[in-house]
Chain A
Amino acid sequence: MAAHRCCFPVWLFILCSFSLFIIAGSQETTVAPEQHASVLDNPQTAAETAEQTAGESGGVEERRWEGTEVRDAAAQKQAEPAVLQPTPQPKDDFQEELVVRPLHSGDIYASFQFRTLWETDFMRGNKVSHYRLFPKSLGQVISKFSVRELHISFTQGYWRTMQWGQPYLPSPPGAELWVWFQDSVTDVDATWKELTNVLSGIFCASLNFIDSTNTVQPSASFKPLGIGNVTDHRFLRYATLPREIVCTENLTPWKKLLPCGSKAGLAVLLKSEKLFHSSFHSQAVHIRPVCQDWQCKTTSWELRQTLNVVFDLHNSGQGKREWSLFKMFSRTLTEACPLASSSKIYIDITDNPEGEQFELSPATSLLSQAMVLGDRRTFSVYDLTQQDTFGSVRSLNLLIRWKSTEGDMLRPLLHAERYVAGYGLQTGEIHTLMYNHHPYRSFPVLLLDSVPWYLRLYIHTLTVTSKGKDNKPSYIHYQPSKDRVRPHLLEMLVQLPPNSVTEVTVQFERALLKWTEYTPDPNHGFYVGSSVISSLVPSTVAMDTNSTRERPLFSSFFPCKEESSYFVRVYTEPLLVNLPTPDFSMPYNVICLTCTVVAVGYGSLYNLLTRSFQIEEPSPGLAKRIANVIRKMRGFPGTMG
């Protein structure tokens, strides 16, 4: 009976060990749901809506607050058909907007946004043949390649978050392209390749250098910005070209996409000599499907063309803090684009409520408030569709004269930087630093790193530390590289503790390239694209979660789902890494060739002359040698002749 009792624990042991193997076999990546989103269930107390505040303060001061923009737009739409539109219902709509934000460093940040909305359907084999405001070249791209969303940006210079705050629309240095395809696309990679070629022709850029070695499929970092429920990342492609130069030839086709070109409206300010004489220049095109109305039962295509530029007027103006439209763009405005339903200039005057910081002329009585980047900002609004904006001289030249130089910028809550450490040409280490400046709240960030294959990451050396302690990521997705085929992809969800610096380090080894793979200027170094940091940053005021309400264009790009936090994307610097480079110069090659000739010629001759020759015994055959070995092992003395 003892044996009968004994066999139960044995079976238990067998079962346990079996299940252990099953688990070990199925586990792929570490998914540890321990640091659960504690941020999400901690809503901010400030829940005042924008309209309430606007109404209150509007009563106190005699300034006129801009009402809901819906009424404004509706009034214009009523007036418009009589003048411009013989057709009863224009299904497309064009808006233009310029936001000017004086920065505390003395620079000026100007952000142009042009939005074309069109209620049409490019999909389901629908032949769209009549284009009015929407550019046909992009419409054809959308329908031919079954694009659901397309985001492309060209940037010259690096956005200095700590000096300038957050941009309205972030972009990494160089070119960035990310596309969501429709789920009807069967061969996504081939479509992507063709699409990049076509876009390179449209935008005069070297986007045809995008191939499998710099394309990744992020698993969580990029979600569709337009409407839609499909988030299967098999239909997403993301690529950056950090070395891409941006110049007039990229601006020319970009301007041609606008309904008014650069002939009228805000686009007359886009003169390349001024735009490229700046600290930062970024132009982008975003195409996505958006809601048509508040019910969101119909969709329309949105083409958003943005251009962000930071002028260093403080230095170029001999230290005088004064700027005007003419100084910035060497043009003044005389009219709105006749095709635009709304054409406005916003000046950020949040830090200047009583006019003590700077003086704005001509003065405007129209004010507006908007929730942007987790903050409530106040803007002076100039409506270009109104004739009285231009005054008696029929031209608008905005002028700001600074009175005092002090002033404090609200420090951005999140910022990041990256650098390469180490010495020599064999190994190195990538450091990524992420700063959380919030005094008491932690928030999650999702870090995406795409490293080219010629830097071989040692993923076992990956460390994430914050405040001297190991910070375990709650989600890691890593895809190793394949030489000459695909890059490394590393995605991590990290919780940043309040008021801390989180450092991510990983070591790498530099690979040797084949000599045809070197660029014509290999000593310049090789670029590694920016890391992308997507984050939900706690906001100081309640964000507007109604995504379909009419808002200024600059505050309505990223859809907002909750009131207590807002979505922000931050890009780090691209890295410039030296690879071991052979000397391609002519003297070096001549020396190499000569030495080879000398070594082969002289060496063989010397060998021939100094060798002593002697006759060798013929060696026995293979079978005999094996037989000898066997006989030796068996203990027979002697060998077979």
Chain B
Amino acid sequence: MKTHVLFNLFATFLLADGLNIEVSVFDFSLQLQISHRFVFLILNFTRNVAPLLINTQLFTRFLSRISQDSAGQFFSSGHTNNWAVLVCTSRFWFNYRHVANTLSVYRSVKRLGIPDSHIVLMLADDMACNHRNPKPATVFSHKNMELNVYGDDVEVDYRGYEVTVENFLRVLTGRLPPSTPRSKRLLSDDRSNILIYLTGHGGNGFLKFQDSEEISNVELADAFEQMWQKRRYNELLFIIDTCQGASMYERFYSPNLMALASSQVGEDSLSHQPDLAIGVHLMDRYTFYLLEFLEDIHPASKANMNDLFKVCPKSQCVSTPGHRTDLFLRDPGSVLITDFFGSVRKVEITTEAIDLTDPIKEVEERYMHSYVDQLPVSEIIHQKPKQKDWHPPDGFILGLWTLILLVFFQTYGVKHLRHIF
């Protein structure tokens, strides 16, 4: 006997995480399947609440109790939050396609439920408002101009000159200056699933940033190891769309990493969709088919990683996409796409009443205020020059005085002093 209950709750939460306010209308569908006294809880949040409210420990205990009852594959991944770092490393208009690549992945993960506060988006150049763009504030992924991947509510965290190898590695490893705002940080923990997507121009063992510096595959592998040792991720999915992309994951050695690349060593990744209106290619082949694949994914879909590995076969991509799963502990067939591209949030509901109305005290200051003159001409002209500190007289003045005294005594002698005083 099965009862299938579907709840759709809509609520507006005003949450402050640090200085970042997010008003999110979140829609969480709670599916209760009661079958033979086993309770299956599937929580799918297309929007989330900030991790501040989540008591991870409590819920994990609750979770383990349920999963004992064979709650199924939904909790087997063991992560409690999702993060995404999406990087376009190329500058200049002719690299339009790399920005479109990154934005299409951004669009997909946002659509599947990762909020802007959990996405670190790095774009090395501004294509949407570039003067060469005939339709400003748009970036298209297809010639038919149906899908504006830039959207109307994009939030770019690192842009322009900020996209450097140093900043990228600092975001990954969390070694940022203390005054860095939360939106520019990867605040993940050991229960986070992280998606890292890179695109740009690369070669065998390196990826160029902004046409002026490179990151090597060894540096990248060491950064992931540092992340692992700092317990900054639970599982990590690495996707790179660049020439000879497979060379970038060759050196990885940290556990729980899964990696995908658009091309093998010695192969070029090719572009797709030349557009005559803007004069450049719109997207790269691999990401184009990846976007096509992700558009069919919805928060509850059961597609797994093996489906992702089949994206863009050589007949479509021209290059051979590669993947690496030997560092990953789970079977890719049991890993859902939404484990990385979607977002799962658990909430704990409290019944305690919290009194928010703190009486605001009246301030007893009642003097007359006034506005300041914007251009007080006479005040500016007559403002006193800064008083200079006293300093001992310099050589010239001392010499002059000596000369004057010398001439005086040479002329009159000491005996005339009494006439003066």
Interface centre among B367, B369, B397 (most CB of A within 10 A): B369
B375's nearest neighbour on chain A, judged by CB, is A536
When A136-B16, A201-B182, A567-B374 are in contact, do A247 and B129 touch as well, CB less than 8 Å?
Answer: yes
Q: How far is the CA of A430 from the CA of B166 in the complex (A)?
A: 36
Which of B155, B360, B382 has a CB less than 8 Å from the CB of A249? B155
When distances are taken between beta carbons in the complex, the residues of chain A under 8 Å from B420 are 7, 11
Cβ of A297 to closest chain B Cβ, rounded Å: 5
When distances are taken between beta carbons in the complex, the residues of chain A under 8 Å from B382 are 31, 33
Residue B52 at the chain A interface, CB threshold 8 Å: no
> Could you say which of B77-85, B135-143, B289-297 contacts chain A?
B135-143
Given contacts A21-B393, A198-B179, A201-B184, 14 further A-B contacts (CB under 8 A): A40-B378, A206-B160, A227-B371, A245-B129, A247-B128, A249-B156, A273-B137, A273-B152, A276-B128, A296-B368, A297-B366, A298-B366, A559-B371, A561-B371
Interface centre among B155, B376, B380, B419 (most CB of A within 10 A): B380
Whether B157 and A31, one on each chain, are in contact in the complex, defined by CB atoms closer than 8 angstroms, is no
8 Å CB interface, B171-207 against A: 177, 179-184
Whether A130 and B375, one on each chain, are in contact in the complex, defined by CB atoms closer than 8 angstroms, is no
Q: How far is the CA of A297 from the CA of B129 in the complex (A)?
A: 46
A–B complex contacts, Cβ < 8 Å, 22 sampled: A7-B416, A36-B378, A37-B377, A194-B179, A208-B162, A220-B383, A227-B371, A247-B128, A256-B21, A261-B23, A271-B152, A273-B148, A273-B152, A275-B137, A276-B129, A296-B370, A297-B366, A520-B212, A521-B91, A521-B92, A536-B374, A567-B375
Q: How far is the CA of A11 from the CA of B374 in the complex (A)?
A: 49
Interface centre among B160, B374, B393 (most CB of A within 10 A): B374
Q: How far is the CA of A273 from the CA of B152 in the complex (A)?
A: 8
Whether B151 and A248, one on each chain, are in contact in the complex, defined by CB atoms closer than 8 angstroms, is yes
When distances are taken between beta carbons in the complex, the residues of chain A under 8 Å from B136 are 273, 276-277
When distances are taken between beta carbons in the complex, the residues of chain A under 8 Å from B146 are none
Residue A200 at the chain B interface, CB threshold 8 Å: yes
Cβ of A517 to closest chain B Cβ, rounded Å: 12
Chain B interface, >50% SS class: loop
Whether B419 and A135, one on each chain, are in contact in the complex, defined by CB atoms closer than 8 angstroms, is no
Give the A-binding residues of B (Cβ under 8 A). Answer: 16, 19-21, 23, 91-92, 126, 128-129, 135-138, 148, 150-157, 159-162, 177, 179-184, 210-212, 356-358, 360-361, 363, 366-378, 380-383, 385-388, 393, 397, 400, 404, 408, 412, 416, 419-420
Residue A611 at the chain B interface, CB threshold 8 Å: no
When distances are taken between beta carbons in the complex, the residues of chain A under 8 Å from B376 are 223
> Could you say which of A22-30, A388-396, A420-428 contacts chain B?
A22-30
Whether B388 and A25, one on each chain, are in contact in the complex, defined by CB atoms closer than 8 angstroms, is yes
A128's nearest neighbour on chain B, judged by CB, is B360
Q: How far is the CA of A130 from the CA of B357 in the complex (A)?
A: 7
Interface centre among A141, A444, A558 (most CB of B within 10 A): A444
Whether B19 and A201, one on each chain, are in contact in the complex, defined by CB atoms closer than 8 angstroms, is yes
Residue A471 at the chain B interface, CB threshold 8 Å: no
Q: How far is the CA of A494 from the CA of B237 in the complex (A)?
A: 63
A535's nearest neighbour on chain B, judged by CB, is B375
When distances are taken between beta carbons in the complex, the residues of chain A under 8 Å from B151 are 248
Whether A224 and B369, one on each chain, are in contact in the complex, defined by CB atoms closer than 8 angstroms, is no
Residue A436 at the chain B interface, CB threshold 8 Å: no
Q: How far is the CA of A220 from the CA of B381 in the complex (A)?
A: 10
Which of A29, A198, A206 has a CB less than 8 Å from the CB of B162? A206
Q: How far is the CA of A60 from the CA of B375 in the complex (A)?
A: 40
8 Å CB interface, A1-41 against B: 3-4, 7, 10-11, 14, 17, 21, 25-29, 31, 33, 36-37, 39-40
Q: How far is the CA of A79 from the CA of B408 in the complex (A)?
A: 93
Whether A36 and B381, one on each chain, are in contact in the complex, defined by CB atoms closer than 8 angstroms, is yes
Which of A140, A225, A493, A535 has a CB less than 8 Å from the CB of B380? A493
A32's nearest neighbour on chain B, judged by CB, is B381
Whether A297 and B162, one on each chain, are in contact in the complex, defined by CB atoms closer than 8 angstroms, is no
When A28-B386, A231-B372, A248-B128 are in contact, do A201 and B137 touch as well, CB less than 8 Å?
Answer: no
When A201-B20, A296-B370 are in contact, do A273 and B91 touch as well, CB less than 8 Å?
Answer: no
Q: How far is the CA of A225 from the CA of B372 in the complex (A)?
A: 7
Per-residue CB proximity of A218-234 to B under 8 Å, as 1/0?
00100111111101000
B162's nearest neighbour on chain A, judged by CB, is A206
Cβ of B211 to closest chain A Cβ, rounded Å: 6
When distances are taken between beta carbons in the complex, the residues of chain A under 8 Å from B383 are 31, 220, 475
When distances are taken between beta carbons in the complex, the residues of chain B under 8 Å from A228 are 369, 372
A275's nearest neighbour on chain B, judged by CB, is B137
Residue A474 at the chain B interface, CB threshold 8 Å: yes
Q: How far is the CA of A204 from the CA of B121 in the complex (A)?
A: 11
Residue A505 at the chain B interface, CB threshold 8 Å: no
Whether A253 and B155, one on each chain, are in contact in the complex, defined by CB atoms closer than 8 angstroms, is yes
When distances are taken between beta carbons in the complex, the residues of chain A under 8 Å from B366 are 297-298
When distances are taken between beta carbons in the complex, the residues of chain A under 8 Å from B385 are 26-29, 31
